[in-house]
């Protein structure tokens, strides 16, 4: 992600980039079309549908999604392709990254011939179109060089391409089919529900394997509300009110499951994952868990499955890699069970303010280092927006990382957090 600046309260406040977990079998085994010894990858969940992925040019008509400017229609922007095709969108340029000297260096360390030819790389840097058994799912005008395109987020368009052009078709399908049924019968991945949107995002943004990171790939960092807020271009409209809290909470539900899954895999991969890498993954998982837990400890959300999550997280505090792996797996399963409750989460400003206070007065940075810093700052950012705490929203800018994964100097973070706390409602 590029470096960015904030301008206080009046900044870009968006909602999300995109993901899936509950509705399609996530882990695809086998190495069809790719590298030997390749790990299972949740990023391939859509290929299990066995449907073709059409290229983005099929969406580029000026009358469809290739207009220069957005329309006034509530159900269609009209310039979605135009925005995505712009060089500012990192999804469009994701494949080109694989041709860089840095990617060549990483590929060499992984003993991969070329990053742009490796399934482990193209599954997230492109619209992956290889089925579980190696079948070719490339549709008309498909090109791997497009990067992460329309079908990557919205599902393989073989079946839904024609009907979705009918005005009101998507709305009608949503009214009669669940997300899972819509996906299974048409291939359309509905990114409107915040939870499923977040689940689509984390499939790539939080699943990078330990050996890939060890080879030089950036550590995976993601928080849906914040990453949406700094997204360079977008083609969706946000609701008002406390919508920021809903985006953050649903994002955290998906993110927590993903980081616990990654931690479990890393613990099982010892000694592939070094002690330092495992520690950072543990800090990341606990940082996500700790901010997420405030939803329950502040009684904003209730779930019969929260005690199981809390118990699993408690076991992550010590033990060997095997114990950490078992606890992380239990936490992942508990997070998945809790996640649907967040789809109904719609707090008022007072509740958002209560959560804000609980998060801002904690010491997540002291407990979990840079991972704690980031998740605490991102959570404060979202809840300040949701609760209407303009002074806090302006103050939190100081403790937001300039780049994801980049630590704020501890002294600067402490001063910034103190400033945030001084702005909290008494």
Residue 379 forms part of a structural domain: yes
Per-residue pLDDT at 183 exceeds 70:
yes
| Region 176-204 average pLDDT | 95
Calpha distance 145→336 (Å, rounded)? 34
**pLDDT at res. 270:** 63
Question: End of a domain among 190, 221, 250?
Answer: 190
Which of 33-42, 79-88, 266-275, 402-411 shows the lowest mean pLDDT across its residues? 33-42
Per-residue burial over 192-220, b if 16 or more Cβ lie within 10 Å, else e, is eebbbbbbbbbbbbbbbbbbbbbbebeeb
Residue 212 forms part of a structural domain: yes
Say yes or no: 152 and 269 in one domain. Answer: no
Say yes or no: 229 and 177 in one domain. Answer: no
pLDDT tier at 23, thresholds 50, 70, 90: very low
Contact 337, 256 (CB under 8 A): no
Say yes or no: 313 and 351 in one domain. Answer: yes
| Region 146-157 average pLDDT | 96
Question: End of a domain among 190, 224, 243?
Answer: 190
Which of 6-20, 212-226, 351-365 shows the lowest mean pLDDT across its residues? 6-20
Say yes or no: 53 and 167 in one domain. Answer: yes
Per-residue burial over 124-152, b if 16 or more Cβ lie within 10 Å, else e, is bbbbbbbbeeeeebbbeebebebbbbbbb
**pLDDT at res. 405:** 84
pLDDT tier at 8, thresholds 50, 70, 90: very low
**pLDDT at res. 276:** 82
Average pLDDT over the chain, rounded to an integer: 87
CA angle 387, 389, 393 (to 5 degrees): 115
Question: For residue range 369-414, what is the model confidence (pLDDT) as tens digits?
Answer: 999 999 999 999 999 999 999 999 999 999 999 988 889 999 999 9
Say yes or no: 210 and 174 in one domain. Answer: no
pLDDT tier at 72, thresholds 50, 70, 90: confident
**Number of structural domains in the chain:** 2
| Region 86-91 average pLDDT | 86
Per-residue pLDDT at 16 exceeds 80:
no
Calpha distance 125→204 (Å, rounded)? 9
Question: For residue range 257-269, what is the model confidence (pLDDT) as tens digits?
Answer: 999 999 998 888 7
pLDDT tier at 314, thresholds 50, 70, 90: very high
Question: End of a domain among 190, 219, 240?
Answer: 190
Question: For residue range 385-396, what is the model confidence (pLDDT) as tens digits?
Answer: 999 999 999 999
Residue 21 forms part of a structural domain: no
Per-residue pLDDT at 14 exceeds 90:
no
Which of 240-244, 280-284, 315-319 shows the lowest mean pLDDT across its residues? 315-319
Residue 28 forms part of a structural domain: no
Say yes or no: 218 and 291 in one domain. Answer: yes
Say yes or no: 363 and 236 in one domain. Answer: yes
User: How does DSSP assign 338-392, residue by residue?
Assistant: HHHHHTT----HHHHHHHHHHHHTS-HHHHHHHHHHHHHHHHHHHHHHHHT-HHH
Which of 15-24, 127-136, 299-308, 412-421 shows the lowest mean pLDDT across its residues? 15-24
| Region 230-248 average pLDDT | 88
Calpha distance 234→231 (Å, rounded)? 7
Say yes or no: 287 and 357 in one domain. Answer: yes
Say yes or no: 155 and 218 in one domain. Answer: no
Residue 197 forms part of a structural domain: no
Consecutive H or E run containing 336: helix 321-342
Q: Report which of 155, 153, 149, 157 is spatially closest to residue 93, judged by C-alpha positions.
A: 149
Note down the domain range covering 112. 42-190
Say yes or no: 68 and 164 in one domain. Answer: yes
Residue 17 forms part of a structural domain: no
**pLDDT at res. 404:** 86
**pLDDT at res. 33:** 34
Say yes or no: 182 and 227 in one domain. Answer: no
Per-residue pLDDT at 219 exceeds 90:
no
Residue 179 forms part of a structural domain: yes
Calpha distance 292→315 (Å, rounded)? 17
Calpha distance 231→13 (Å, rounded)? 9
pLDDT tier at 26, thresholds 50, 70, 90: very low
Residue 25 forms part of a structural domain: no
Say yes or no: 122 and 64 in one domain. Answer: yes
């Amino acid at each position: 992600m590029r470096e960015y600046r904030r301008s206080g309260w009046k900044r870009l406040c968006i909602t999300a980039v995109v993901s899936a977990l509950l509705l399609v079998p996530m882990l695809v085994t086998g190495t069809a079309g790719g590298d030997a010894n390749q790990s299972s990858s949740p990023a391939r969940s859509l290929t299990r549908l066995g449907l073709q992925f059409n290229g983005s040019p099929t969406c580029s008509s000026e009358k469809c999604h290739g207009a220069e400017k957005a329309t006034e229609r509530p159900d269609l922007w009209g310039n979605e392709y135009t925005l995505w095709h712009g060089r500012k969108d990192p999804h469009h340029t994701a494949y080109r990254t694989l041709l860089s000297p840095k990617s060549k260096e990483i590929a060499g360390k992984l003993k991969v011939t070329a990053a742009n030819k490796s399934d482990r790389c193209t599954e997230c840097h492109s619209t992956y179109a290889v089925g579980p058994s190696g079948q070719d799912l490339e549709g008309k005008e498909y090109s791997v060089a497009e990067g992460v395109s329309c079908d990557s987020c919205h599902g393989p368009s073989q079946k839904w391409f024609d009907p979705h052009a009918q005005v009101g078709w998507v709305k009608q399908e949503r009214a009669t089919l669940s997300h899972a049924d819509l996906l299974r019968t048409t291939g359309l991945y509905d990114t409107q529900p915040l939870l499923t949107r977040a689940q689509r995002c984390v499939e790539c943004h939080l699943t990078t394997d330990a050996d890939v990171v060890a080879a030089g790939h950036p550590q995976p960092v993601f928080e849906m509300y914040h990453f949406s807020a700094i997204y360079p271009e977008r083609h969706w409209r946000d609701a008002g009110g406390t919508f920021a809290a809903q985006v953050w909470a649903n994002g955290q539900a998906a993110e927590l499951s993903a980081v616990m899954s990654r931690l479990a895999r890393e613990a099982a991969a010892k000694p592939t994952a070094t002690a330092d890498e495992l520690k950072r993954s543990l800090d990341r998982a606990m940082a996500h868990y700790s901010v997420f837990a405030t939803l329950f400890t502040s009684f904003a959300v209730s779930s019969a499955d929260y005690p199981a999550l809390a118990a699993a997280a408690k076991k992550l505090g010590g033990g060997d890699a095997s114990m950490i792996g078992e606890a992380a797996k239990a936490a992942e399963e508990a997070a998945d069970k809790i996640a649907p409750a967040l789809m109904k989460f719609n707090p008022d400003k007072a509740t958002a303010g209560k959560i804000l206070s609980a998060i801002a007065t904690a010491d997540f940075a002291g407990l979990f280092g840079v991972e704690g810093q980031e998740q605490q700052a991102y959570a404060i950012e979202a809840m300040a927006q949701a609760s209407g705490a303009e002074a806090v929203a302006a103050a939190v800018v100081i403790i937001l990382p300039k780049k994801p994964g980049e630590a704020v100097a501890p002294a600067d973070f402490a001063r910034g957090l103190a400033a945030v706390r001084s702005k909290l409602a008494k």
